[in-house]
């Protein structure tokens, strides 16, 4: 074993001698190697390469075979493909607004960025079975939130919508303006108009409760946001809401139990949506809508019903976007000491001073602070 080890060490040492050869010895060895190559003859010489021909061949290969690590992308719709709007998505099935079932083309499944939402316009081709969706038309607007399954990805709730009706209850469950503020930010970010729909107004019978409700809604009136007070069960105040939505694509969103499905049933009696009561033990609503769906009313209005939400995250908005979403801050912010004031801790902040003096609704400023403080 010792002899073998010594032999291996000797061979390694010989291989490393080249590092220590002088200049003349290196020249001699190179010349000897050149002579040996010449003695082998022409047959062993490398063939001269035709670079123009090889470049042409490479271009053909590159066009025919895309790189395997390149992400596939959705192709633009062809002129002969038909178009429709996604009306429902559930359990891997797609329903279009013309009543037909559809499936997503295989090449789109390979694209990790491709996801459909109710309201998306798609291009499809006819097959013997379900229609095959070949492309998604670019969205005009959307309402999205962070995906609960992947916080780094946005979950689009509805696409290509003109207005979102933020449905809250005047009572049972109690009105929570925090959700309105979060949804207003998300809607502005997605380019969607907003309206606040206060349902169950018939449950507010006391004058003090009515005054409190009006104070809560006053900031949204000042923002220029359309506010509708109605009752789906008592058929009160629904006609102004119907006129506001007429001919548009609207999405209804809000907490569970506030009466989204009941309002939609009043606007669309043939919809047949299930409604439910609020749980007595915690005052929260039950989920009666389990997936989003789109229906077209007789006057051409398209309405999208969505499942109730417990909370609505805004992880995709940075603090500057949150500040910009509270548009009523702007007229006070010009008097702040610092141009990049966050309106939280800086000295001589005019926005904070306006909230303390009552010139700015304290509830809206408090909501702003809660949104900024929420984990991102």
Secondary structure letter of residue 199 according to DSSP: E
pLDDT for res 310 = 53
Question: Distance of alpha carbon 227 from its chain centroid, rounded?
Answer: 26
Three-state SS at 158 = strand
pLDDT winner (highest mean) among 17-31, 252-266, 312-326: 252-266
Q: What is the pLDDT of residues 49-104, one digit of tens each?
A: 554 555 555 555 455 444 444 444 445 666 668 999 999 998 778 999 999 999 99
Would you give the end-to-end CA distance of the chain in angstroms? 65
Q: Is this structure's pTM higher than 0.85?
A: no
Tokens 């670079």, residue? Answer: 51
**Residue 2 CB neighbours (<10 A):** 6
The dihedral over CA atoms of 198, 201, 203, 208, expressed in degrees to the nearest 10, equals 90
Per-residue model confidence as pLDDT tens digits over 309-328: 655 667 668 889 899 889 99
- 3-state per-residue secondary structure call for 28-65: HHHHHHHHHHHHCCHHHCCCCCCHHHHHHHHHHHHHHC
Phi-psi region of 139 (alpha: psi -120 to 50; beta: other; left: phi over 0): beta
Complete domains list, the chain, with CATH: 82-138 (2.40.50.140), 146-305 (3.40.50.300), 319-373 (1.10.40.50)
* Alpha carbons 274 and 357: distance in angstroms, whole number: 46
* Confidence bin at 164 (pLDDT 50/70/90): very high
Question: With 60 as the cut, is the pLDDT of residue 274 above it?
Answer: no
**pLDDT, tens digit, for every residue of 207-236?**
999 999 999 999 999 999 999 999 999 999
């Amino acid at each position: 074993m010792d002899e073998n080890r010594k032999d291996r060490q000797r061979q390694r040492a010989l291989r490393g001698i080249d590092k220590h050869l002088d200049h003349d010895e290196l020249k001699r060895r190179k010349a000897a190697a050149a002579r040996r190559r010449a003695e082998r003859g022409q047959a062993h010489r490398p063939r001269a390469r035709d670079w123009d021909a090889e470049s042409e061949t490479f271009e053909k290969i590159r066009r025919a075979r895309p790189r395997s690590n390149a992400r596939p992308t959705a192709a633009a719709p062809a002129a002969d493909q038909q178009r429709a709007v996604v009306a429902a998505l559930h359990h891997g099935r797609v329903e279009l607004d013309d009543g037909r079932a559809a499936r997503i083309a295989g090449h789109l499944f390979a694209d990790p960025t491709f996801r459909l939402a109710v309201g998306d316009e798609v291009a499809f081709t006819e097959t013997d079975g379900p229609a095959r969706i070949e492309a998604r038309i670019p969205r005009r607007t959307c309402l999205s939130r962070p995906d609960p399954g992947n916080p780094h990805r946005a979950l689009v709730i509805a696409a290509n919508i003109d207005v979102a009706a933020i449905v809250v209850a005047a009572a049972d469950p109690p009105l929570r303006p925090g959700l309105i503020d979060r949804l207003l930010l998300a809607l502005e970010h997605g380019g969607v108009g907003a309206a606040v729909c206060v349902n169950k107004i018939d449950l507010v019978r006391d004058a003090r409760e009515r005054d409190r409700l009006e104070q809560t809604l006053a900031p949204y009136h000042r923002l220029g946001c359309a506010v509708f007070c109605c009752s789906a069960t008592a058929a009160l105040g629904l006609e102004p809401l119907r006129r506001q939505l007429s001919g548009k694509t609207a999405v209804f969103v809000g907490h569970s139990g506030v009466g989204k499905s009941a309002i939609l049933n009043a606007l669309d009696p043939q919809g047949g949506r299930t409604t439910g009561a609020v749980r007595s033990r915690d005052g929260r609503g039950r989920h009666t809508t389990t997936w989003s769906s789109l229906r077209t009313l007789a006057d051409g209005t398209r309405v999208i019903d969505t499942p109730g939400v417990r909370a609505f995250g805004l992880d995709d908005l940075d603090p500057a976007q949150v500040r910009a979403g509270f548009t009523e801050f702007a007229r006070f912010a010009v008097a702040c000491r610092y141009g990049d004031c966050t309106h939280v801790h800086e000295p001589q902040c005019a926005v904070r001073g306006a909230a303390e003096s009552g010139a700015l609704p304290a509830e809206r400023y408090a909501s702003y602070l809660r949104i900024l403080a929420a984990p991102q």
